Amino acid sequence: MKFQPAPTICRGRTFTWGERTFVMGIVNLSPDSFSGDGLSVIDAAVDQALRFVSDGADMIDIGAESTRPGSEPIAIEEEISRLIPAIDKIRLAIDVPISVDSYKYDVVTLAIAAGIDIINDIWGLKFDSRLAGLAAAHHLPIVVTSNQRDNPCVGDIMDEIKRDLSRAVALCNDAGVAEGNIVVDPGIGFGKTLAQNLEIIRRLAELESLGKPILLGTSRKGMIGAILGTPVDDRLEGSAATNAIGIAHGADIIRVHDVKFLSGVARMSDAVARRGKL
């Protein structure tokens, strides 16, 4: 029987890892979003969050800066102006945990004040390690992602990811983040080649050695377009396949754009992969 990470308590909910896969719905506030679903009207973002919760999302991830390959960082002031008003209204509308997709200390600080429950750092504390201190001080879960955009891997990709995530987990531990409040993400698409992205999904179970819940984000990503030759708005089959295989190999959370469809994929995958825990 494999080791299960410590449960995570977030917004009064207990996430018991290993029993089922949890679904994180993506709300993009960037007009430059790679997936083409960026929203500029706050009410539309609120409506999307409500729909996602109705469709089965266990948590909502809100971001205001594009992370597509080649995108340029936006000014902190612009990120704040897009993000905080939306969090304010979405927080009033839904009761599931809200994650903020940002790696900037000042942005995350304001997002916490606005009511977010989870920090999602795509740079895995490389950009600003103080985010670990924020997570500890406010008793929030933090997702740390292995990002190779600053230093592409030329060796074994899983060895590199495990080293990188071990570094981030150690920073969280040093800052006092609770054992159950650290989530690891291998970072599909963040500075990896197509072959490396496929290798990560194939070998995802190796990350279980870190003893933390695993978040997988493959939804609509370029690796799917490269294999299927489909545009970004026509990658549902690829998203389904990569998430189903990821769940079979240990993913605890899937981060997705198409919540209703992929919630069904998660439930069916759980019925097969997590025998007896339905």
Domains, the chain, ordered by start: 19-271 (3.20.20.20)
Torsional sign, CA 17, 99, 188, 54: positive
pLDDT of 33 reads 47
Q: Round to whole Å and give the CA distance between 102 and 123.
A: 9
- With a CB cutoff of 8 Å and minimum separation 6, the contacts of 144 are 121, 124, 125, 165, 168, 169, 172, 182, 183, 184, 185
Q: Which residues, in sequence order, are bridge partners of residue 145? A: 185
96's tokens: 């599931």
* pLDDT tens digits, one per residue of 225-269: 999 999 998 999 999 999 999 999 999 999 999 999 999 999 999
**pLDDT range class, residue 116, cuts 50, 70, 90:** very high
Torsional sign, CA 127, 7, 215, 195: positive
Q: What is the dihedral of CA 124, 128, 134, 135, to 10 degrees?
A: 0
DSSP 233: T
Residue with tokens 């050695």: 209
Flag whether pLDDT at 276 surpasses 90: no
Flag whether pLDDT at 39 surpasses 90: no
pLDDT of 36 reads 45
CA distances from 207 to 44, 136, 210, 212 (A): 37, 23, 6, 8
pLDDT of 71 reads 67
Range 246-266 burial, b when 16+ CB lie within 10 A, else e: bbbbbbbbbbbbbbeebbebb
| E strand or H helix at 89 | helix 76-93
- Of 49, 72, 69, 73, residue with least CA distance to 61: 49
DSSP 142: E
Q: Where are the alpha helices (DSSP H) in 127-258?
A: 130-137, 157-175, 194-202, 222-228, 236-248
* pLDDT tens digits, one per residue of 129-186: 999 999 999 999 999 999 999 999 999 999 999 999 999 999 999 999 999 999 999 9
Q: Round to whole Å and give the CA distance between 178 and 167.
A: 16
Flag whether pLDDT at 38 surpasses 80: no
DSSP string spanning 35-77? Answer: TS-----HHHHHHHHHHHHHHT-SEEEEE-S--STTPPPPPHH
Contact indicator for 188, 200 with CB cutoff of 8 Å: yes
- Which residues are marked as active site? 221, 255
pLDDT of 239 reads 98
Contacts 24+ apart (CB under 8 A), 227-232: 227/194, 232/34, 232/35, 232/36
Q: Which residues, in sequence order, are bridge partners of residue 101? A: 63, 120
Beta strand 13-15 pairing with 215-216: unpaired
3-class DSSP state for residue 100? strand
Flag whether pLDDT at 1 surpasses 50: no
